Amino acid sequence: MPTDGNLIPIFIALFELVQFDIWGVHIFLKMRLEQLENQNPNVYNKTTDRLITAEEENDDVVDEFDSREIFDLIRNITDPEHPLTLEQLHVVQESLIQVDNANNSIFVNFTPTIPHCSMATLIGLSIRVKLLRCLPARFKVRVEVTKGTHNAENSVNKQLADKERVAAALENPHLIQVINQCISNRKRVSLSQFFRLNY
Amino acid sequence: MTVRPTQRSKNVIKSPIFSRFVALVSPLSTFAPFWHVVRPPRPLFNHPVVVRDPNPKMSKLEPLQTLCKHTGRVWDVSWHPKGQTFASCGEDKTIRIWSKDSDSKWSNKVILTDGHKRTIREIAWSPCGNYLASASFDTTTCIWDKKSGEFECNATLEGHENEVKSVSWSKSGRFLATCSRDKSVWIWEIAEEDEYDCAAVLSAHTQDVKKVVWHPHDDILASASYDNTVKLFKEDQSDNDWVCFATLQGHESTVWSISWDKTGTRIVSCSDDATLKIWQKGQNTEETWKCVCTMSGYHNRTIYDVSWNHSSDLIATACGDDAIRIFKEEEGGDLEAPTFSQVTCIERAHAQDVNCVAWNPLLSDILVSCSDDGEIKLWKFIPE
């Protein structure tokens, strides 16, 4: 089990490489893909689709954002490693989402599948980007690792909360391509295929 | 036992059941004037912690004008030293220069494009007002001047490995400093016209460096970082080497911005930990700086910028909770333990995060702010 100290450079390295080295990204991600960190993740059932009530369809009734709605937005994001959704891997759960409409704040906890997952920042970033694009701009979204589920949670949380670093990361064409791949709900080509095509 | 009900209990008693309590309560109430004496003492800290003032005095910040020409987030606004013009920059990779029309309304006069390939994070006017420096996520810093009659980028400073986050000119006009996510601070010496030599690469910080600001009159540089510290640098006169001579430790998260007071003996810093800290230089030595005041409980989210007015001594903050707040030092305070209080707070100053606030260098009651909502706002401060 790697220690905290060993781990931080790994995903910082992911960011560094992704930021300015096109070949670095490809090689790095390819390496990760060939030897999956978590080979046999637990797979959970999907929840049933939400029943839309007549009241919700009535435009005259103001219905506020709730945790189920936020959950529906992010549950189909795919894991960067596995062809499974974050919901199936229990990375996101409805009970770990808090919505405060009055204060325009949304708080999402996500649980990496293993405590040394080097993809944690990428998963968090995908959730942030998805919510950034789908929600009205008034919302302040905070995405954090569920307490006690990652070796370097403070460092991951700090990076995800830094809007300047998130903005810089999203201007990187290679990184945004990977994120778009994760958040698109379409039946996708697997990531390894995607990179083979691009090679 | 006869009980003379107090004014308070008279109003409360409505049923005979309550009258039983009166016998108990009233004798106690005769001690009431002494209760404040035995109130629990305030928690002790190694320096005073200022908590929210329940009755802030009513100074006002009056909106003057809203400018929306940028598309997307506006990261920074910077006043020209003469105070008649300011520049803004942002996500749309442009720099806009604004000045007043004849009807005293501000309008966009110049747009500078094609200097940068990515977000322009910060801009800074040289002390002479002839040059404008822009720091960008594309790892370069551009120097713009107007020698040909129009603004042109006549020098590009390269060297940082990652996004450049901040740029600042020294008041002497001799130096320019830049900092980056690559954890370094670079000092550029302005040798001749359009010639910039790298005088030092300072790697004192262990993380992303967010901001560099020069001392108001000396060649001393302050930098703020993601590693939660502020560091001060100066040139060692014996061997012309730039050294870090002080580290200001105390914030619990990223320090986003810093601002010097007019004398250069105090610094205010703002952080992701939602506090402001005032740092005071030691009496005799330059090396010892200590935190003399922490303002917590005022801000609800990350404080992205702080600006210390050199004429009125007011401190303005830009916060992630969309508010702009103004603080003032209370008079007659101890130099070693000053007290600052909030004099005004505009709760919804912008529709989204406020990224920058800047006091006009000459018209000291004019403040400009910019936000993630793409707007720039001008404000006038009216004291109580």
Long-range contacts of B233-236 (CB under 8 A, 24+ apart): B233/B185, B233/B187, B233/B202, B233/B204, B234/B286
Between chains, do B119 and A167 touch, taking CB under 8 Å as contact? Answer: yes
Query: What's the confidence (pLDDT) of residue B42?
Result: 52
Query: What's the confidence (pLDDT) of residue A111?
Result: 93
d(Cα A139, Cα A103) in Å, to the nearest integer? Answer: 8
Residues of A in contact with B119 (CB under 8 A): 167-168, 171
Residue with the larger pLDDT of the pair A64 and A20: A64
0.90 surpassed by pTM: no
Tell me if chain A has a CB within 8 Å of the CB of B71: no
Least confident of A177-181, B227-231, B307-311, B355-359: A177-181
Between chains, do A138 and B119 touch, taking CB under 8 Å as contact? Answer: no
Residue with the larger pLDDT of the pair B3 and B95: B95
Tell me if chain A has a CB within 8 Å of the CB of B253: yes
Tell me if chain A has a CB within 8 Å of the CB of B93: no
Decide if pLDDT at B160 tops 60.
yes
Between chains, do B226 and A19 touch, taking CB under 8 Å as contact? Answer: no
Looking at residues B278-292, what average pLDDT do you find?
A: 87
Residue B33 exposure: Cα atoms within 13 Å on the Cβ side: 1
Distances (CA, A) of B261 to B237, B307, B361: 25, 9, 13
Between chains, do B301 and A140 touch, taking CB under 8 Å as contact? Answer: yes
Decide if pLDDT at A41 tops 80.
no
Decide if pLDDT at B23 tops 80.
no
Decide if pLDDT at B18 tops 50.
no
Query: How far is the alpha carbon of B322 from chain A, nearest alpha carbon, in Å?
Result: 10
Q: Cβ of B133: how many Cβ atoms within 10 Å?
A: 25
Decide if pLDDT at A39 tops 80.
no
Decide if pLDDT at B114 tops 80.
yes
Residues of A in contact with B353 (CB under 8 A): 140, 163
Looking at residues B77-92, what average pLDDT do you find?
A: 94
Q: Report residue A82: phi and psi, to 5°.
A: -110, 150
Decide if pLDDT at B102 tops 70.
yes
ipTM of the complex: 0.81
pLDDT tier, B48 (very low <50, low <70, confident <90, very high otherwise): low
Least confident of A9-23, B46-60, B240-254, B267-281: A9-23
pLDDT tier, B166 (very low <50, low <70, confident <90, very high otherwise): very high
Residues of B in contact with A19 (CB under 8 A): 162
Residues of B in contact with A156 (CB under 8 A): none
Query: What's the confidence (pLDDT) of residue A7?
Result: 37
Least confident of B171-175, B256-260, B333-337: B333-337
- Angle at CA of residue B283, ends B277 and B284, nearest 5°: 135
pLDDT tier, B193 (very low <50, low <70, confident <90, very high otherwise): confident
Q: What is the 3-state secondary structure (H, E, C) of chain A?
A: CCCHHHHHHHHHHHHHHHHHCHHHHHHHHHHHHHCCCCCCCCCCCCCCCCCCCHHHHCCCCCCCCCHHHHHHHHCCCECCCCCCECCCCCCCCHHHEEEECCCCEEEEEECCCCCCCCCHHHHHHHHHHHHHHHCCCCCEEEEEECCCCCCCHHHHHHHHHCHHHHHHHHCCHHHHHHHHHHHCCCCCCCHHHHHHHHC
Decide if pLDDT at B356 tops 70.
yes
Interface with chain B: mutation pick from A138, A164, A170, highest number of B CBs within 10 Å: A164
Q: What is the pLDDT of residues A67-116, one digit of tens each?
A: 888 998 898 898 888 888 888 888 999 899 999 988 889 999 999 988 88
Decide if pLDDT at B246 tops 80.
yes
Between chains, do B137 and A168 touch, taking CB under 8 Å as contact? Answer: yes
Decide if pLDDT at B331 tops 90.
no
Distances (CA, A) of B370 to A156, B33, B88, B292, B350: 28, 50, 8, 29, 8
Q: What is the pLDDT of residues B224-241, one digit of tens each?
A: 999 999 999 999 888 889
Token pair of B307 as six digits: 């600006």
Least confident of A169-178, B36-45, B84-93: B36-45
Between chain A and chain B, the number of residue pairs with CB atoms below 8 A apart is 40
